[in-house]
Amino acid sequence: MTTAAPSAKAVKQAIQWMLRLRESGNSPVLLQQCEQWRSARHEHELAWQRVVHLHQDLDLRAIPGAGVALQTLETSQRRLHRRQALKLLGCAAMAARRHGWPKTSIPSAAGLRITRLPRASGVASSCPMAR
């Protein structure tokens, strides 16, 4: 027999329990209540196990040298978005030229308030708007 996946409701409850326990520093009272919730239904226990695994996978505090993780993730995400945005601008500009649209209808990088360009040569060399 295959085990059915827990419902969205059970998963969301499991997430709530996990966050409450984490915030309380595993308060014994909450731990006991959480155990009661888990044992009430098989689905609860399954949702709990999955959420705990997921949380462990995403726990950066457990990794040595992770002190720079937040900065690395935030900076790289910002740059990735900028890169994707510029790439789209480049494609829009090329399409516009191909279709002979007037130049004034092409959005400029300044118009979209992109103030700094990525240093990656790949973008600059193939994206006309980035020059």
Partner 1 sequence: MPSNDSVQTLYSDHHGWLHAWLRSKLGNAADAADLAQDTFVRLLQRGEQVQLNTPRAFLRTVARGLVIDHWRREELHRAYLEALAHLPEASAPSAETREVLLELLERIARMLDGLKPKVRRAFLLAQCEGLKHQAIAEQMGISVRTVERYIADALYHCYLLRFEDER
Residues that bind partner 1 (CB under 8 A): 5, 11-12, 15-16, 18-19, 23, 50-51, 54-55, 57-61, 63-77, 79-80, 83-84, 87, 120-126
Instruction: Please state the closest distance from residue 131 (CB atom) to partner 1, in A.
Output: 13
State which residue, 104 or 121, has the beta carbon closest to partner 1: 121
State which residue, 32 or 126, has the beta carbon closest to partner 1: 126
Instruction: Please state the closest distance from residue 112 (CB atom) to partner 1, in A.
Output: 17
Instruction: Please state the closest distance from residue 100 (CB atom) to partner 1, in A.
Output: 21
State which residue, 104 or 129, has the beta carbon closest to partner 1: 129
Instruction: Please state the closest distance from residue 105 (CB atom) to partner 1, in A.
Output: 23
3-state SS, one letter per residue, for the chain: CCCCCCCHHHHHHHHHHHHHHHHHCCCHHHHHHHHHHHHHCHHHHHHHHHHHHHHHHCCHHHCCCHHHHHHHHHHHHHHHHHHHHHHHHHHHHHHHHHCCCCHHHCCCCHHHCCCCCCCCHHHHHHCHHHC
